[in-house]
Chains A and B, each alone.
Chain A
Amino acid sequence: MSKFLPLWPDSASTMSGQVDALYIYLLLVAGVMTALIFVAVTVLAIKYRRVPGREATQIEGSTILEITWSIIPFFVMLTFFIWGAVLYFQERTPPANATEVYVVAKQWMWKIEHMEGQREINELHVPVGQNVKLIMTSQDVIHSFFVPAFRIKQDVLPGRYTTLWFKATVPGRYHLFCAEYCGTMHSGMGGDIVVMEPQEYAQWMAVGATAPLQDTGKELFASLGCATCHRFDVQGRGPNLAGIYNKPVLLEDGRTVTADENYVRESILNPTAKIVNGFKPIMPTFQGIVSDEQLNALVAYVKSLSQPPTGTAGLQNQPAVSPGQTQNVQVQ
């Protein structure tokens, strides 16, 4: 990207090439259409300018023409829709083996928690070639996580999780912007995405690591008394939480929901909103008792209780292994 007159953004993720391709297609179609209309208007305007003695010929219209120029643009637009929707589906469906990173936004900074326990502010370090899934929430108003070089963006909302994923392809430092207006320093709520070679990343990871997130969660699970009801050996008063993540849960009212991050989060904050079939609504709310960071840890812990679908999954399932080591194995 030219530092003086950028006409095209950097391209540094698996998504960016695909978005660019679609964008170029749109530019072409739009360019052709615009040219067509500009040329038609200009030519007709010149050719049929008022000349004394020549009168306009009255033409009423033509249904066939009308239908043609409704249907053709419609089908052209259909291609936009399909291509765009396919891309969007990809953008919104994190691969199962992605490394997870928790993001908490607040006015006006980004707080980042890696599974390994690393914390950063306004910077996110990621290795090249690794699928990274961001699980994001906000402490105050709506923000939006925007990395132009990756062509990705997702609003970050208070009260729930939204997710985003990417796979960086080119090492470097890229802009991170907050793209949803959030108050005074909205334009200052930026930072950098630092994409590193795997080895470098492993070194970076090794420095200053604290307890992995799910370990913090495990402690909280014990100290908050969750474990008194949710037991893993015998059936407690609450459901056994092992293996629930990403599995369908049958609710008391007959509905079935998937136990994703938001469900786990809601189960802790608003336990009566969705009652698991066969259980009584006795779980107290932990709203106001746990902070957003603690919530993240609890969610990470509950998730870690589920076996990953494949052996090559994210780091969070091998807490025993030191993060630096695993990282090398991780990179595909």
Chain B
Amino acid sequence: MASKAASTENTAMSANQAPKLNYLNNGHSLKSWLLTTDHKRIAMLYLISVTTFFFIGGFFAMLIRLELLTPQGDLMQADTYNKVFTMHGMTMVFFFLIPVVPAVLGNFLVPLMIGAKDLAFPRINLLSWYLYIIAGTLFLHCMLIGGVDTGWTFYTPYSTVGSNTNVIEAGLAVFIAGFSSIFTGLNFIVTIHRMRAPGLTWDRLPLFIWANYATSLIMILGTPVVAITIVLVAVERLFHLGIFDPALGGDPLLFQHLFWFYSHPAVYIMILPSMGVVSELITCFSRKRIFGYKFIALSSIAIAVIGFLVWAHHMFVAGISLYAAMIFSFLTFFVGVPSAVKVFNWTATLYKSSITYATPMLYAFGFIGLFTIGGLTGLFLATLGIDVHVTDTYFVVAHFHYVMVGGVLMGFLGGMHFWWPKISGRMYPEGWARLSALLVFVGFNLTFFPQFILGYVGMPRRYWQYPPEFQVLNVLSTAGASVLAVGYLLPMIYFLWSLKYGPIASDNPWNAAGLEWKTTSPPPTFNFDETPVVTWEAYNYDEIPDVPLEAPVAR
């Protein structure tokens, strides 16, 4: 349907050469977008929708920070605050962070990087976006009719008997979003197995593909469990089929087991694709093959698999058995190893390289630094004796923002800058981009570093009011959040600006190695004019001339 001859309607292009038919100008009607099966267009649909949800979630974050400026709960009611942080968490996790890298960059890049014309099931891909939109709309509706206040974790029995907000609707939204994510994962796995270009063997795959493969495994194996868990909560609320109800001899901790069986691996759904992005960025901007390709590739799989063995580290004080706690703590440390392998290999790649400080690379540096801090504090939490004190305090809040915002979001922004020329055919303004990278980094640390201290001195999370001695640190955090907000608004503005005014990008502005750079920018609807045949390893930067790159030379 996207195939209407488009050249006639194509007046928006301000290029000097005749624009080639590409996925963007191949049909301009709304219908050609809403019914597209082109993975690149679906990626763009996702980009628009997840960005929307990011700003909604960010809006709630600002409300949280404003409320916490003073110790008394004076900006809003306690109930309102509870809804605000719940909807912040749910929006950010289920409607932003889980889909963000796989569904936007993954959707766009997986077929391109493996030399395929599209994902294996293009219509399921579109279906998965629609599911996401249905879920998102439902969640928005849920917010408008009063929201939900269970925390993003839906803990029973509060979610079944305690709360009188719209738990079922929010649950249904998460349930549907889950299926969207399952279909994305399924599509990726099949595509990676079945659609690789001739010669593209598993040991030649870009690390981004490996990362998305590992992510997809988690999506397929974990998401159904959270889906059924949420169904059980809904059923308990609706029909009083008490599955977790202690009055019937049910165990509320069983809910937590089932929930975290998915939701711990889910944090790797978030981080793994971003790690894949970072591998791409580091190699390109240091003009080097990656150090320890095999180990980085396998560590993604290792993280995905081991990630399923550690879930009860969220339940150390919840009342699980002493021995189970020890087993889970022990297993948790195993996830640290493959993560460490990645960090060390990225660092080693820099050795004897030739580094350009383009914006994507700045984000990659930011990722390494912040993920290291976030990950190491994860080890604090995995340490039993410490977790007892810091669990459910701001220490945990700081930990996960370091990995999720400092890690995933940094990786995503780095990737967006890196592939923007491929996506849009335009360059973004480098100067502004570097400024915003700096703002994000500084603002981020100012926001979340004080929270580590807050947590250790004992400020519990999900608190609407707090003892006055915690105020100074909270003020710092709120100040940081305002800087952060500016840092996030900037890219949004200049990306939009560059769509019209940015310099036209060449097919391969960074001189990068991946297959995605071997087609035009933006790529044609079926990606490659002829199917590429791969005869080289990934990141063969030794064979690519180190000519000056387009972007850092300010245009």
When C-beta atoms are compared, the residue in chain A nearest to B289 turns out to be: A58
Contacts of B388 in A (CB 8 A): 19, 88, 91, 151-154
Given known pairs A66-B292, A69-B344, A187-B464, the reply for A48 and B286 (CB within 8 Å) is: yes
Judging by beta carbons under 8 Å apart, are A153 and B317 in contact? yes
A258 to B239, CA, bound (A): 36
Judging by beta carbons under 8 Å apart, are B347 and A56 in contact? no
Given known pairs A38-B369, A88-B384, A88-B388, the reply for A56 and B467 (CB within 8 Å) is: no
A83 to B391, CA, bound (A): 18
Produce 1/0 per residue, A36-56, CB < 8 A to B: 011011001100111110111
Does A229 lie at the interface of the complex (its beta carbon under 8 Å from any beta carbon of B)?
Answer: no
Q: Which of A3-37 contact B (CB under 8 A)?
A: 3-9, 18-19, 22-23, 26, 30, 33-34, 37
Given known pairs A41-B347, A41-B369, A44-B347, the reply for A182 and B319 (CB within 8 Å) is: no
Given known pairs A26-B380, A88-B326, A88-B388, the reply for A69 and B340 (CB within 8 Å) is: yes
Contacts of B287 in A (CB 8 A): 50, 55-56
Judging by beta carbons under 8 Å apart, are B157 and A83 in contact? no
Least CB distance, A322 to chain B, in whole angstroms = 35
A239 to B105, CA, bound (A): 67
Among B322, B352, B383, contact of A48 (Cβ-Cβ < 8 Å): B352
Given known pairs A7-B453, A59-B291, A83-B385, the reply for A48 and B340 (CB within 8 Å) is: no
Q: Which of A252-311 contact B (CB under 8 A)?
A: 270, 273, 287
Does B333 lie at the interface of the complex (its beta carbon under 8 Å from any beta carbon of A)?
Answer: yes
Least CB distance, A298 to chain B, in whole angstroms = 18
Contacts of B149 in A (CB 8 A): 183
Produce 1/0 per residue, B220-262, CB < 8 A to A: 0000000000000000000000000011011111000000000
Least CB distance, A133 to chain B, in whole angstroms = 15
Produce 1/0 per residue, B363-398, CB < 8 A to A: 001001100110011011011111111011100000
A107 to B462, CA, bound (A): 15
Judging by beta carbons under 8 Å apart, are A84 and B329 in contact? yes
A45 to B288, CA, bound (A): 13
Judging by beta carbons under 8 Å apart, are B329 and A85 in contact? yes
Does A119 lie at the interface of the complex (its beta carbon under 8 Å from any beta carbon of B)?
Answer: no
When C-beta atoms are compared, the residue in chain A nearest to B348 turns out to be: A65
Does B121 lie at the interface of the complex (its beta carbon under 8 Å from any beta carbon of A)?
Answer: no
Judging by beta carbons under 8 Å apart, are A158 and B157 in contact? yes
Contacts of B382 in A (CB 8 A): 80-81, 84
Pairs across A and B, CB under 8 Å, 5 listed: A23-B386, A60-B291, A81-B383, A84-B383, A151-B388
Does B48 lie at the interface of the complex (its beta carbon under 8 Å from any beta carbon of A)?
Answer: no
Judging by beta carbons under 8 Å apart, are B291 and A1 in contact? no
Does A142 lie at the interface of the complex (its beta carbon under 8 Å from any beta carbon of B)?
Answer: yes
Binds A, one of B204-212, B354-362, B482-490: B354-362
Does B473 lie at the interface of the complex (its beta carbon under 8 Å from any beta carbon of A)?
Answer: yes
Instruction: List 5 A-B pairs, minimum CB-CB distance, nearest first.
Output: A159-B246, A148-B458, A87-B385, A88-B384, A84-B383
A282 to B326, CA, bound (A): 38
Judging by beta carbons under 8 Å apart, are B326 and A70 in contact? no
Does A74 lie at the interface of the complex (its beta carbon under 8 Å from any beta carbon of B)?
Answer: yes
Contacts of A107 in B (CB 8 A): 162
Judging by beta carbons under 8 Å apart, are A148 and B340 in contact? no
Does A140 lie at the interface of the complex (its beta carbon under 8 Å from any beta carbon of B)?
Answer: yes
Does A155 lie at the interface of the complex (its beta carbon under 8 Å from any beta carbon of B)?
Answer: yes
Judging by beta carbons under 8 Å apart, are B460 and A146 in contact? yes
A154 to B318, CA, bound (A): 7
Contacts of B13 in A (CB 8 A): none
Does B294 lie at the interface of the complex (its beta carbon under 8 Å from any beta carbon of A)?
Answer: yes
Does B541 lie at the interface of the complex (its beta carbon under 8 Å from any beta carbon of A)?
Answer: yes
Q: Which of B294-334 contact A (CB under 8 A)?
A: 294-295, 316-319, 322, 325-326, 329-330, 333-334
Q: Which of A171-230 contact B (CB under 8 A)?
A: 175, 177-188
Judging by beta carbons under 8 Å apart, are A81 and B351 in contact? no
Judging by beta carbons under 8 Å apart, are B457 and A56 in contact? no
Contacts of B293 in A (CB 8 A): 60-61
Among A8, A22, A40, contact of B457 (Cβ-Cβ < 8 Å): A8
Produce 1/0 per residue, B135-166, CB < 8 A to A: 00000000000000111000101100111000
When C-beta atoms are compared, the residue in chain A nearest to B371 turns out to be: A37
Contacts of A26 in B (CB 8 A): 379-380, 383, 386
When C-beta atoms are compared, the residue in chain B nearest to A54 turns out to be: B354
Least CB distance, B312 to chain A, in whole angstroms = 13
Judging by beta carbons under 8 Å apart, are B456 and A9 in contact? yes
When C-beta atoms are compared, the residue in chain A nearest to B82 turns out to be: A184
When C-beta atoms are compared, the residue in chain A nearest to B247 turns out to be: A159
Judging by beta carbons under 8 Å apart, are B383 and A56 in contact? no
Contacts of A313 in B (CB 8 A): none
Judging by beta carbons under 8 Å apart, are A80 and B379 in contact? yes
A118 to B249, CA, bound (A): 31
Does B465 lie at the interface of the complex (its beta carbon under 8 Å from any beta carbon of A)?
Answer: yes
Produce 1/0 per residue, A141-162, CB < 8 A to B: 1101010110111110111101
Given known pairs A41-B369, A48-B351, A141-B161, the reply for A19 and B385 (CB within 8 Å) is: yes
